[in-house]
């Protein structure tokens, strides 16, 4: 009984001693391990050189070659400190810097091989990055200009609406007075005896036209910026229409101030020519707004 127990104790001691004498290679304390691969872990790089260097003096501490599965193992450095390793395959290298601590050594380092890049490809990439950055800046500037242009156009339209709105009411009133004036002219023409009453109606209508015209000219003169506002929104069409509009006002003023009776005594064709500024006023203001009055 005692002899069997003695044998069991001897066997246990022998197994314990073997565990210390023949340790597993992958489980050695302080070793640095990792994997060197190409694009992903399914593409391990075998036979790649992995070298370990001390950072302070760049002295080689150890080196090895990767196995078929891309794994490598480096001996533990003699002391704690800053190190870096370089993994090289097909003239392509990857460097990894780290702090080595024997109590917590770096294990299972995942190192990916850098992509092959020729000098020409490098220049192309560099130029493309520069061009891309310039394009991004230009796009930003262009967008800024577009937003500013839209904002300026919006402000110009508001100013145009206000400016044209100031003169719209007196223009419509003047054209309304012109229609009454035409009616009095037609009534005078139909009278066989040149009725004094018909002529009085005409003189009254001319007076109303002159009064409304004076009001309109005052409003137009108060908006000295109206030409610029119209040009900003309606460009050449609006600007030319505004010039025609002002010329028509001037012609109406000359007609009503110089000899308004000439309209009554003229032939139909001559009368139409004398009243032409009123039609030009109507048409130019319609074009100025971009739609019928």
* Structural domains of the chain sorted by starting position, each given as residue range(s) with its CATH number in brackets: 22-116 (2.60.40.10), 140-289 (1.20.1420)
- Computed on alpha carbons and rounded to an integer, the radius of gyration of the chain in Å comes to 50
Residue 192 pLDDT class (50, 70, 90 cuts): low
- Looking at residue 24, its pLDDT comes to 38
Find out whether 86 and 53 touch, Cβ atoms under 8 Å.
yes
3 state DSSP class of 194: coil
Average pLDDT over residues 241-265: 87
Q: Biggest alpha carbon distance in the chain?
A: 165
Q: Give per-residue pLDDT as tens, 115-174.
A: 765 556 667 777 888 898 899 999 999 988 888 888 877 877 777 777 778 888 899 999
DSSP code of residue 116 = P
Average pLDDT over residues 255-261: 84
Higher pLDDT, 95 or 22: 95
Query: Tokens in use for 222?
Result: 């108060």
Element (H, E) at 142: helix 119-190
CA–CA distance, 86 with 64 (Å, rounded to integer): 11
- Looking at residue 11, its pLDDT comes to 47
- Looking at residue 117, its pLDDT comes to 59
Element (H, E) at 181: helix 119-190
> Half-sphere exposure of 231 toward its Cβ, with a 13 Å CA cutoff?
9
Q: Give per-residue pLDDT as tens, 217-247.
A: 888 887 777 777 777 776 777 778 888 988 9
- Looking at residue 193, its pLDDT comes to 61
- Looking at residue 151, its pLDDT comes to 81
CA–CA distance, 112 with 40 (Å, rounded to integer): 8
- Looking at residue 19, its pLDDT comes to 34
């Amino acid at each position: 009984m005692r002899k069997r127990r003695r044998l069991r104790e001897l066997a246990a001691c022998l197994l314990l001693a073997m565990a210390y004498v023949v340790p597993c290679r992958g489980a050695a304390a302080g070793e640095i391990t990792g994997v060197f691969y190409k694009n992903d872990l399914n593409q391990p790089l075998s036979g790649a050189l992995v070298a370990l260097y001390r950072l302070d003096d760049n002295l080689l501490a150890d080196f090895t070659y990767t196995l078929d599965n891309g794994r490598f193992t480096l001996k533990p450095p003699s002391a704690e400190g800053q190190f870096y390793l370089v993994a090289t395959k097909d003239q392509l290298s990857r460097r990894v810097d780290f702090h080595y601590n024997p109590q917590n050594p770096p294990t299972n380092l995942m190192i990916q091989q850098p992509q092959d890049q020729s000098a020409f490809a490098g220049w192309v990439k560099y130029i493309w990055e520069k061009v891309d950055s310039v394009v991004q800046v230009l796009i930003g500037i262009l967008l800024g200009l577009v937003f500013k242009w839209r904002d300026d156009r919006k402000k110009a339209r508001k100013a145009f609406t206000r400016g044209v709105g100031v003169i719209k009411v007196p223009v419509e009133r003047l054209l309304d007075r012109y229609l009454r004036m035409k009616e009095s002219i037609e009534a005078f023409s139909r009278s066989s005896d040149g009725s004094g009453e018909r002529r009085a109606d005409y003189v009254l209508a001319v007076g109303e036209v002159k009064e409304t015209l004076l009001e309109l000219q005052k409003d137009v003169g108060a908006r000295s910026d109206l030409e610029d506002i119209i040009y900003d929104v309606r460009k050449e069409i609006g600007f030319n229409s505004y010039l025609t509009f002002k010329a028509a006002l001037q012609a109406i003023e000359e007609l009503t101030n110089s000899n308004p009776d000439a309209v009554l005594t003229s032939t139909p064709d001559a009368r139409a020519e004398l009243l032409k500024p009123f039609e030009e006023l109507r048409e130019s203001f319609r074009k100025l707004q971009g739609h019928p009055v």
